[in-house]
Amino acid sequence: MSELTIVDLHVSVEGKPILKGLDLRVRGGEVHAIMGPNGTGKTTLALALMGHPRYRIERGDVLFDGRSLLGMSPDQRAKLGLFMAFQYPSEVPGVTVVNFLRAALSAARDEEISAWDFLPLLEEKMKLLGMPEDFAQRYLNAGFSGGEKKRCEMLQMALLQPKVAVLDETDSGLDIDALKAVAGAVNTLRGPDLGLLLITHYHRLLQYIVPDHVHVMMNGRIVHSGGKELALELEAKGYDFIKAELAGGVA
């Protein structure tokens, strides 16, 4: 069972401190949700975990199965089994979904995968996620709806089979039908070998992907944690009760 451990993580962007001592542990089979107001550092956490060069680690460590990720390139982290689904996936006109996914899987495995071997695997995963056959022949995210872009991310995750996946605001811009479809894909891929870190603003995603743990992030650190019921409390009360606890010295 894999484990992602974040220890006293401090991250700055262009000299500005964003994360200020964040601790978190995500084990295989667990679903963790991180919620919090805008600007508190949730996306910074996701990008720092993946090794984005703009995000400078000032202090702390990130361990993946006991190995420090600091100093590793994004592709090295991906090969270890770390995956990120972006809030705004990029469009790549001229590159088909099937060609992109074959290249991604070949890179992750460090070996060229033939079309003969890849296509049956792709068909299997698309069927698992309930995706139409012609989807693979479209240009990557070009002209896709928000829901199609996010389902394409889930298809990539299904093929790469990461050990820990970070989903950065996967619900952003989705209508209710698209949200249900994407959540259904995530739930299909859940299992004891996959740890999930969901970053979201809204409780509605957690109605469909029920987390084991919910964490509230403010001012660059996790200030409150609880079970799935915490998301319901946040929906009802907002973040004011957390701020009141912090003001009273209770975290």
What is the pTM assigned to this prediction? 0.93
Where residue 251 falls among pLDDT bands split at 50, 70, 90?
very low
Identify the band that residue 1 occupies on the pLDDT scale cut at 50, 70 and 90.
Answer: confident
The values of phi and psi at residue 38, to 5°, are -60, 145
**What pLDDT does residue 74 have?**
95
CA atoms of 151 and 97, how far apart (whole Å): 12
* 217 pLDDT more than 80: yes
5: pLDDT confidence band, cut at 50, 70 and 90?
very high
Q: Report pLDDT digits (tens) over 103-139.
A: 999 999 999 999 999 999 999 999 999 999 899 999 9
Cβ pair 22, 221 in contact under 8 A: yes
Q: Which residue type sits at 40?
A: T
Asked whether the predicted pLDDT for residue 192 surpasses 60, the reply is yes
Q: Which domains does the chain have, with CATH numbers?
A: 3-87+162-247 (3.40.50.300)
3-state helix, strand, coil in the chain (%, to 5): 40, 30, 30
Cβ pair 13, 56 in contact under 8 A: yes
Q: Is the pLDDT assigned to residue 249 strictly greater than 70? A: no
Number of H helices, E strands in the chain: 9, 12
CB 200 within 8 A of CB 7: no
User: What percent of the chain has pLDDT above 90?
Assistant: 82
pLDDT, tens digit, for every residue of 52-82? 999 999 999 999 999 999 999 999 999 999 9
Separation of alpha carbons 138 and 53, rounded Å? 31
Report the half-sphere exposure of 139 (CA within 13 A, side-chain side).
8
Once rounded to an integer, what is the mean pLDDT over residues 151-157? Answer: 95
**108 token code pair:** 């992750």
- Tell me the mean pLDDT in the region 26-38: 95
Indicate the pLDDT class of residue 206, thresholds 50, 70 and 90: very high
pLDDT, mean of residues 174-199: 94
What is the reported pLDDT for 241?
87
Query: What is the residue-wise DSSP string for 164-218?
Result: EEEEESTTTT--HHHHHHHHHHHHHH-STT-EEEEE-S-THHHHHS--SEEEEEE
